Amino acid sequence: MADGIIGMVSKDSYKGLRKKLDDFLELNNLRKTEERYAIFDRICTFPSYFDIKQLYEQMEFSNFHVSRATLYNSIEIFIASGLLVRHQFGSNTIFFELKLLADKHIYMICTKCGSVMEASRDSLDFNLANLRFRRFTPESYNIYIYGLCSRCRYALRKKLSKEKY
């Protein structure tokens, strides 16, 4: 892996993530295969969420051939270890994202065309992480905001104004 920034993950963050993965594999008696690390490194190059097809293509692109079964299996491990989160934005496609990155994002989902936009969580002036619940220990959260993207809103306005006259 190259020095410096790996995708959106700094070198120090990457080291921390790798350590967390090592610990999880050891603790659960899972093999530290070359494939698992290669897949994880590839995931660290995505600046945001991705689907299994994109990951598969990136693996092929880097000339590291793995089966889809291996990809799914590794992804399950990364999710179980708390390194990766799963998103379902409304369509049938399931997306994945490093938890490190997902923790910084909120997602705006257009209910008409399904497009997904991201914004920084810093823009929120309240802190969900400080919420306390009875009989429940929160570990992470995602924020999905549903609405209309500007393009769909424009199309809807045009349609409505036509109907008026």
CB closer to Zn ion, 85 vs 110? 110
Query: Taking the complex as a whole, how short is the minimal distance between the CB of residue 113 and Zn ion, in angstroms?
Result: 3
Total residues in contact with Zn ion, by rule CB under 5 A: 5
CB closer to Zn ion, 40 vs 49? 49
CB closer to Zn ion, 92 vs 130? 92
Could you say whether residue 112 binds Zn ion (CB under 5 A)?
yes
One symbol per residue from 57 to 96: x for binding Zn ion (CB under 5 A), - otherwise; what is it?
Answer: ----------------------------------------
Could you say whether residue 110 binds Zn ion (CB under 5 A)?
yes
Q: Spell out where the chain has E strands.
A: 84-87, 95-98, 105-110, 116-120, 144-147
d(CA 27, CA 73): 17
Could you say whether residue 108 binds Zn ion (CB under 5 A)?
no
Could you say whether residue 109 binds Zn ion (CB under 5 A)?
no
Among 25, 16, 88, smallest CA distance to 52 is for 88
Binding part of the chain for Zn ion, among 76-84, 89-97, 111-119, 130-138 by CB under 5 A, reads 111-119
Cβ count near 41 (within 10 Å): 17
CB closer to Zn ion, 98 vs 109? 109
82, 139 Cβ separation under 8 angstroms: yes
Triad 69, 6, 95: Cα angle to 5°: 40
Which residues, 119 to 158, sit near Zn ion by CB under 5 A?
149, 152
Backbone Cα Rg of the chain? 19
Q: Spell out where 37-155 has E strands.
A: 84-87, 95-98, 105-110, 116-120, 144-147
Could you say whether residue 116 binds Zn ion (CB under 5 A)?
no
Under the rule (CB under 5 A), what is the footprint of Zn ion? 110, 112-113, 149, 152
